[in-house]
Amino acid sequence: MKWSNIKYLVFRRFVQISFLFLYAMGNYYGWKLLQGDLSSSILFGKIPLSDPLATLQILSTGALVGANVLVGAMIISLFYGIIGGRAFCSWVCPVNMVTDLAAWLRRKLLIDKIERKIWISRNIRYYMLVLALIVSAISGMAAFEVISPITILNRGVVFGFGMGGGLLIAIFLFDLFVVKNGWCGHICPLGGMHSLIGKYSIIRVSHNSDNCTLCMKCKDVCPEVEVLGMIGKRSEFVSRKECTNCGRCVDVCDDDALNFHLRKFLEK
């Protein structure tokens, strides 16, 4: 295996595990680098960071949330909105490791080739997003935060797992046996939120169809395969908002046809 074929994968795992590690150290040993969890945290003991979706849900219950949470959600939205795109999903979210493992096993066990195809819409996440806000308003409690496997896994590492850990196994099995990339690519409303936030971000994968040999390795590994519609046809940026900037396609491409670039808005 060449380094250039796993570069971004290794970077991503390093970043994901670092986040969990720093959160855990923040709790167990009081490190001031990163405290709290992905719902809301304090960076370097000063800068507030908050999950924009959790914040929206709290606001939709009709409660006026503290200024630190609002500022934190703003900072996160600006960062991903301008720079990162949907990078939260592939570079930070710990559930990505669970669902990536399921997707990898699917390829190794050739499950895609033998299973009965179950089709569900990739737009479910946006319905879930709206539903999360409506249900929060009705029930007076941030609705997705009660069932979110993201925070369950995150808190599991930082504060100890409970029975909620079973939900992660369920999602793993769902992704493995029911729908390919089922959770992250179809259902998760936080993924929907980050898709919307990161729609116009400047860091994007760009495709050079002159170099492309149509090997389709990129489409094999892409968790949001619709975003690669231009492969072998047009040289352009992967501009659909669902792209998680995971860089897996850049990794597997042996022909230098896919790379990260800063999006140029003016040329179009």
Partner 1 sequence: MAKKGKKVEITSRRRFFTDIAYSAGLATMGGLLWAGYTQKAKSSPLTLRPPAALEEKDFLKLCIKCGLCAEACHNRPSNIDRDTGKPKKSTLKMAKAEDNVTIGTPFFTPRDVPCYMCDDIPCVTVCPSEALDITKVTNKKTGELDFKMMDMGLAVVDSNSCIAFWGIQCDACYRACPLMDKAIKLEYDRNERTGKHAFLKPVVSMYDCTGCGMCENACVTEKAAIFVLPREIALGRPGDHYVKGWDKKDQQRVANRVDKDITTHDKRSAKKPEDYLNRELEY
Interaction between residue 147 and partner 1 (CB under 8 A): yes
Using rule CB under 8 A, residue 37 touches partner 1: yes
Site for partner 1 in 190-249 (CB under 8 A): none
Alpha helices by DSSP H, 1-160: 7-28, 52-60, 67-79, 87, 95-108, 111-114, 124-139, 143-147, 149-159
Q: How far lies 180's CA from each of 14, 228, 230, in Å? A: 24, 16, 21
**Rule CB under 8 A: is residue 122 a binding residue for partner 1?**
no
**How far apart are the C-alpha atoms of 142 and 75, rounded to whole Å?**
20
With binding defined as CB under 8 A, does residue 65 bind partner 1?
Answer: yes
What is the Cα–Cα distance from 121 to 187, expressed in whole angstroms? 9
Closer to partner 1 by CB, 134 or 262: give it. Answer: 134
| CB 120 to partner 1: min, Å | 10
Q: Shortest Cβ distance from residue 28 to partner 1 (Å)?
A: 8
Token pair of 165, please?
Answer: 């850990």
129 near partner 1, rule: CB under 8 A: no
The correct pick among 76, 158, 190, 253 for binding partner 1 (CB under 8 A) is: 158
Instruction: Answer yes or no whether residue 39 interacts with partner 1 by CB under 8 A.
Output: yes
Contact positions with partner 1 (CB under 8 A) in 68-87:
68-69, 72
Q: Measure the CA–CA gap between 197 and 27, rounded to whole angstroms.
A: 29
- Which of 138, 169, 214, 216 forms a contact with partner 1 (CB under 8 A)? 138
Tokens of 261: 């670039």
Token pair of 113 as six digits: 């080739």
The conformational region for residue 214 under phi > 0 = left, psi -120 to 50 = alpha, else beta, is left
User: Residue numbers of the site for partner 1 (CB under 8 A)?
Assistant: 26-30, 35-37, 39-42, 48, 50-51, 54-55, 58, 61-63, 65-66, 68-69, 72, 127-128, 130-131, 134-135, 138-143, 145-147, 151-152, 155, 158-164, 166
